[in-house]
Amino acid sequence: MRRLLKIAFAGVVLAGCGADERPMVVITPDGVTTEIAACGTGCSGPTADELHHLSDTDIATFLVEVDAAPIASPTLALESLLFYGADTRGYLSRNDTSAFDAAKIAWLRAELERDEVTVTMRLVDDEGEVRGSLEQRVPMAEKQHLKMDDTGTLGRLAINGKVKRVGVDHLWARF
């Protein structure tokens, strides 16, 4: 799936929306140029789990389903608990889980502690040449300003956004 990113590219230096840098300039293929302001409402905007919370009742129901399935099975119940990680962690810290399989609860607790992700990106032109790349380990679900510095004459590329865990093997990225 491809979509047209409204990220930026300007001639010499690309800057993110950090206060110490120039405003990011976006040039879309149709020639429209826009300066991005208030990036806190854009790519770093809240995810559903920050706007709505999973109730204790729902968490308890999901835990029963997770307990009945093989460990690490990517069921809706398990992935909901991972997506609403903060709510799930809070529930596990407040409630007795001894009725559940200890190994499954231990696995779930460990998964909920995985709060960092390595983001690797590269920019490939239509001739297959890699024009820039970056690799950085970042905290999950926090806005990041990543920079691609090896872009030669293209100038530095700033890529801003964040990553959110949404399942056993899947993450969301919005940059």
Partner 1 sequence: MAAGPWFTVNDSSAGWTDFGQVWLSDGTSAGEAATLQIQLTLAPHRAAEVALNVP
Query: What does the binding site for partner 1 look like in residue numbers (CB under 8 A)?
Result: 1-7, 9-12, 27-29, 34, 36-39, 41-43, 45, 47, 110-111, 113-126, 131, 137, 154, 159, 163-166, 169-175
Shortest Cβ 57–partner 1 spacing (Å): 27
**Angle value at C-alpha 31, between 28 and 32, nearest 5 degrees:** 70
CA atoms within 13 A on the CB side of 109: 12
Shortest Cβ 80–partner 1 spacing (Å): 16
For residue 144, the one-letter residue type is Q
Cβ atoms of 89 and 74 within 8 Å: the answer is no
Residues paired with residue 161 on neighbouring β-strands, in sequence order: 144
Rounded to the nearest 10°, the torsion over CA 145, 147, 153, 154 is: -50
Shortest Cβ 9–partner 1 spacing (Å): 5
Cβ atoms of 155 and 71 within 8 Å: the answer is no
Shortest Cβ 172–partner 1 spacing (Å): 4
In the complex with partner 1, the residue whose CB is nearer, 1 or 98, is 1
DSSP 62-81: HHHHHHHSPTT---HHHHHH
In the complex with partner 1, the residue whose CB is nearer, 37 or 64, is 37
Q: Which H helix or E strand runs over 162? A: strand 157-165
The tokens of 104 are what? 């499954």
